[in-house]
Structure 1
Amino acid sequence: MRRIDTTPRADWQARVEALGLVWHTADGKPYWDESACYIFTPAQIATIEAASADLYEMFIAAGQHVLDRELLGDFGIPAFCHDAIHDSWNAEPPALNFGRFDLGYDGTNPPKLFEFNCDTPTSLVEAAVIQWDWKEAVFPNADQYNSLHDTLVAKWRDIAPPPGSSALYLAHVADAAGEDSVTTAYLADTARAAGIETRLIEMPDLGWDSAGRRFVDLDNMPIDAIFHLYPWEWLVNEPFGKNLVESLGTTLWIEPIWKMLWSNKAILAVLWELFPDHPNLLEARRTPLTGDHVRKPLLAREGANVTLVRGGATLAETAGDYGAEGFVYQALYDLPGSGTQRPVIGAWMVDGAPAGMGIREDGPITGNTARFVPHIIEA
């Protein structure tokens, strides 16, 4: 695993915009950063794949453990959601079942899990499409760990709504940076490539038909299936949250409500309880650790409200609006690199199988301004 300098393409901005990445620059600096790339050996990629597959199996075991022991309340999940989570876990409704393991990896020692972004994962367009286009242009003879696009299309084809259903709606909130908008539009593209009729809708435009007990669009047309790039913990706390849970039999939500189990960082402590000292896990508990550690809110996004503690002193911390829901404490992992060039591996899963990766660089805490740096596999 080596980081090398590369020369950005002269027309890189236009190239990535044409592929849908309109938020390629932040504060005048590239977010999509092709001035460098990471080179991996085939053996290192095999290590990341194997770790991802093992972690997925452990998440299944941890989810079953939580449900068998009725621990959803410990996760801060509202009581009115508990039965629905049990039901969806057991019924396995149609889902992409995709997500991104964030891993620490130095190319030598086993990858270590930081968390699993499996409810509303982003950095998808750049991982699936942009870095592949870059590789084809700059390193055409190299390989890349990347089957994301084809795997997503295949999974959409597998879960396509039956004939007679409404179009597949894809919902999100129009964020200022455009990241959620672009991610949702890309997923709509993959669904259309699978032969599915799609419609984009913003979350405020969802309507509730109280008579029919179902969700409708702005034209009062029923919504039979909807993908949401909007976290479940936000969905269930909306004014329509209880209606949503009660109407899961008439509206298919992708991803399913059981994802509340895995997207909550309380699952990290359960994993450590079930698999202590596993080579791909960092010690994690709901109570403070005595050694060097990271304190993370259970539901934060984009590295918000994270505190790094070394030698009893705060090494780094970020601000944000999270924390009231509680924290998890995880052993500190020293990322390789230095300064703002510390890579975090985003190992993607689709339908429970490894499907590729992306790399983001930042300082000790990976936040929403972290750069995306492409990779190749050496021959």
Structure 2
Amino acid sequence: MQRVTLPPRPDAAQALLNVGIDWATGGYWQEQAAYAFTDEEITRIEQAGQRLVDRLIETAGHSIEHGRLAELGIPAWLHPAIEASWNRRDESVYMRLDLAFDGHALHLLECNGQTPTSLIEASVAQWHWLEQQQALGHLPPGSDQYNRIHEALLEQWQHLQARGVTDVHFAAGDSREDWATVTYLRDLAVQAHVSTAALNVEDLGVSPERLTLVGLRGEEIRHLMWLWPFEFAWEDVAAEQLSRTRTRFIEPLWKAVLCSKGLLAHLHERYPDDENVLAASLKPGTLGGEVVRKPLYSREGQNVTIIGANADATPGHYGDLPVVEQRYTSLPSFPAADGSVRYPVIGLWVAGTEVCGMGVREAAGRITDDRASFVPHYLLPGQA
């Protein structure tokens, strides 16, 4: 694993706009560098990642079936609906695992099971970057990328369509990035011959007379894919409709379990000897030593605290929530051309239940927050 300095493409900004990325400002998209991996490293990441996906889903099912959802911060009125969603085996489209990897040790940091972003960057934008940098002669001939995210997501939509998911409403809030992600996912669904419509989250309706959520024209919504965190939804005045509606959510309600960082403690409890699973506890102070304290629900690295020799903390809006503590693991560090030090985290993408590619985000500190940059990657040819 190397951080390599490269000349950027002369039309990089336009290339990003061409795939719908209009928020890559302030250094968010970084292509003056790239991360290079060997085939052997990618194989290790893929195999360990698949095992982690399987164990996370198994642990989520165990937590549901053994009545442990309250430990994860999920309100009691939603438990029956989550159990029903799990028992139906409601289908998933995607999720992302965040991993610490230094070329040797690999550790799961957390799982974003419902609203993962940086998807277009990982699936489309960095693939175009690879092709164009090869054409410019900036990458060695034969360079590849661990990235079949686009193809795998299309296959998953085709699978859902065959299972009866033939019409889907897509919704998001007012974030440009969220809407770009929703639009991309909607385009994949259309390619899989799914009938689609779009609306803002605030335009979703409930009706005492209806058994489903409704759209702007009062139409019933059978399937809803929304880029809106469940923990936001269950604070809404109409939240309990989630527990009664016949609308099927994508991502499904059982994925609320994977959204809770508390599941890291359940995962460690079930797989204490897994070398890729860090010790974690829902009882602060019990692990001892250097730990990372995280709210059960938080976004963009908010309210994360490193306790110990590498002490650090981020502000945020989740400071009043219960927390999970996870054993601290060092991120690899690389010098950048501007003299700073960069700390990369691997985002491993999952379509359905199968890992299918990755992206890399790097921060200027040990906590990856909303200031972290996306950096493309490639595989070194002939260096397995």
Where 1:20 maps in the other structure, the secondary structure is coil
Return the alpha-carbon distance in structure 1 between the equivalents of residues 258 and 103 of structure 2: 26
- Aligned pair partner of 1:283 in 271, 279, 284: 279
Aligned position for 1:63: 60
Where 2:237 maps in the other structure, the secondary structure is coil
Return the alpha-carbon distance in structure 2 between the equivalents of residues 54 and 66 of structure 1: 18
Return the alpha-carbon distance in structure 2 between the equivalents of residues 10 and 108 of structure 1: 35
CA contact (8 A) 1:161 1:168 kept: no
Does 2:89 align with 1:100? no
Alignment of 1:289-304 (within 5 A): 289-304=287-302
* CA RMSD, Structure 1 to Structure 2 (Å): 1.6
CA contact (8 A) 1:32 1:373 kept: yes
Aligned position for 2:9: 9
Structure 1 residue ranges (4+ consecutive) displaced by more than 6 angstroms after TM superposition: none
Aligned position for 1:344: 345
Gaps of 5+ in 2: 136-141, 335-339
The 3 A distance-change label for structure 1 pair 44 and 240 is same
TM-score, length-normalised on structure 2?
Answer: 0.92
User: What is the CA distance between 1:30 and its match in structure 2?
Assistant: 2.0
The 3 A distance-change label for structure 1 pair 340 and 84 is farther
Return the alpha-carbon distance in structure 2 between the equivalents of residues 360 and 171 of structure 1: 26
Aligned position for 1:180: 178
The 3 A distance-change label for structure 1 pair 260 and 191 is same
Return the alpha-carbon distance in structure 1 between the equivalents of residues 327 and 210 of structure 2: 50
CA contact (8 A) 2:80 2:243 kept: no
Give 1:282's aligned amino acid. Answer: L
Where 1:93 maps in the other structure, the secondary structure is coil
Return the alpha-carbon distance in structure 1 between the equivalents of residues 35 and 166 of structure 2: 43
CA contact (8 A) 1:145 1:357 kept: yes
User: What is the CA distance between 1:209 and its match in structure 2?
Assistant: 2.5
CA contact (8 A) 1:113 1:281 kept: yes
Aligned position for 2:107: 112
CA contact (8 A) 1:306 1:317 kept: yes
CA contact (8 A) 1:298 1:323 kept: no
User: What is the CA distance between 1:211 and its match in structure 2?
Assistant: 1.6
Gaps of 5+ in 1: none
User: What is the CA distance between 1:161 and its match in structure 2?
Assistant: 7.9
Give 1:5's aligned amino acid. Answer: T
Return the alpha-carbon distance in structure 1 between the equivalents of residues 356 and 255 of structure 2: 19
Task: Give the aligned length.
Answer: 367
Alignment of 1:78-97 (within 5 A): 78-96=75-93
User: How far does the alpha carbon of each residue in 1:135-191 deviate from its partner, in whole angstroms, 9 at most, with x for none?
Assistant: 01103631100011011111111112888x88421111012xx21111111111111
CA contact (8 A) 1:120 1:231 kept: yes
Alignment of 1:300-319 (within 5 A): 300-311=298-309, 315-319=311-315
TM-score, length-normalised on structure 1?
Answer: 0.93
Aligned position for 1:378: 380
Give 2:302's aligned amino acid. Answer: A
Return the alpha-carbon distance in structure 2 between the equivalents of residues 52 and 277 of structure 1: 16
Give 2:355's aligned amino acid. Answer: P
Aligned position for 2:195: 197
Between the aligned residues of both structures, percent identity stands at 37
Alignment of 1:203-222 (within 5 A): 203-222=201-220
Aligned position for 1:365: 367
User: What is the CA distance between 1:35 and its match in structure 2?
Assistant: 0.5
Aligned position for 1:32: 29
Aligned position for 2:73: 76
Give 2:147's aligned amino acid. Answer: N
Return the alpha-carbon distance in structure 2 between the equivalents of residues 88 and 213 of structure 1: 16
Where 1:343 maps in the other structure, the secondary structure is strand
CA contact (8 A) 2:65 2:83 kept: no
User: What is the CA distance between 1:223 and its match in structure 2?
Assistant: 1.2
Does 2:123 align with 1:122? no
- Aligned pair partner of 1:253 in 227, 249, 254: 249
Give 1:290's aligned amino acid. Answer: G
Structure 1 range deviating more: 292-301 or 135-144:
135-144
Return the alpha-carbon distance in structure 2 between the equivalents of residues 227 and 204 of structure 1: 14
User: What is the CA distance between 1:213 and its match in structure 2?
Assistant: 3.1
CA contact (8 A) 2:203 2:216 kept: yes
Does 2:273 align with 1:272? no
User: How far does the alpha carbon of each residue in 1:75-96 deviate from its partner, in whole angstroms, 9 at most, with x for none?
Assistant: 1211111111111111112331
Return the alpha-carbon distance in structure 1 between the equivalents of residues 319 and 265 of structure 2: 17
